[in-house]
Chain A
Amino acid sequence: MNARCPKAVFSLGLCAAILGAMAAAACADTKEQIVERMAKRLAAVKQYKAEGKIGETFDGLVDAVRAQYLDDATLRKLVADENTDRKAFYILGAEKYGVTPEVFALSAGRRNFREARPEDWLRPKDGKWVQKKDLKE
């Protein structure tokens, strides 16, 4: 076997890894892009919250208060898109501070529980949906 072959394979692998890293960096959303998308979605999120169909979870995400609400494709997509963006922000933040995304997610959960209106639905760690006015600290 030619002695140059392993070197060539290694070089190709290295190039592929560098290109992959560059592509991943290029595809990663910036905070501004996430804010932009979430801002466009905010009215719909608030609307569904007012209807009691979606609520905030302790880990900084949104979810349908009842499973049947997910039959609504618009609601289902909204929840999925919102959570994708929130998770992207938690990952960005975690990288910035050298912590896990869970730390950011839990901080967001605490913040969103605090900012919720009394009639908003919240899902604490026990997994049971409850309106903020009925939430026992």
Chain B
Amino acid sequence: MRHWLLACALAGMLAMPACYTSHTVKVEPVEVKPIHITMDINIKIDREVDDFFSEVEKKAAEPNPGAPTAPASPSSPSSGEQK
């Protein structure tokens, strides 16, 4: 009986490592930040450009931005002409 119990315990000890399983799940990090940064910069650049040209328009509309250098005698619009 004693031998029988010892054999069972030994068999159990030997069988235990078989129950052990190891799973390594590697999840790639989802990098969204740079896309947001790029979009943010593009929006800022578009706004900066828009503000710049608006500022030029605004300045030109001021009473005395300087002597305008527009051509003295405008000719008729040459629509339809191409290089």
Contacting pair B82 A44 (CB below 8 A): no
Which residues in A have their C-beta under 8 angstroms from that of B74?
47, 50-51
Shortest Cβ gap from A115 to chain B (Å): 8
- Name the contact of A107 in the complex, choosing from B46, B56, B79 (C-beta under 8 A): B46
Q: Please encode chain B, from 53 to 83, with 1 for each CB lying within 8 Å of some chain A CB and 0 for all others.
A: 1011101101001111111001111110111
Which of B42, B66, B68, B81 is close to A52, meaning CB atoms less than 8 Å apart? B81
Q: Which of B48, B56, B71, B83 contacts A66 (CB 8 A)?
A: B83
Main secondary structure of the interface of A (DSSP, over half): helix
B71 CB to closest chain A CB, in angstroms?
A: 6
Q: Which one of B42, B59, B81, B82 contacts A39 once the chains associate, using CB atoms below 8 Å?
A: B59
Q: Cβ of A47: which chain B residues have Cβ within 8 Å of it? A: 70-71, 74
**Size category, A interface:** 35 or more
- Asked if A22 is at the interface of the complex by the 8 Å CB criterion, the answer is no
B60 and A51 contact, CB distance less than 8 A: no
Complex Cα–Cα for A40 and B81 (A): 28
What number of B residues sit within 8 Å (CB to CB) of A? 32
| Interfacial residues of chain A within 38-82, with CB under 8 A of chain B in the complex | 38-44, 46-48, 50-53, 60, 64-67, 74-75, 78
B9 interface residue (CB < 8 Å to A): no
Q: Are B81 and A97 in contact (CB under 8 A)?
A: no
Check A119 against B79 for contact (C-beta < 8 Å): yes
- Say whether B50 faces chain A, with CB atoms less than 8 Å apart: yes
Cβ B59 vs Cβ A97 within 8 A: no
10 closest A-B pairs by CB: A39-B59, A40-B66, A43-B68, A42-B60, A39-B60, A52-B78, A47-B70, A44-B70, A43-B70, A44-B69
Give chain B's interface residues, CB within 8 Å of chain A: 41-42, 44-46, 48-50, 52-53, 55-57, 59-60, 62, 65-71, 74-79, 81-83
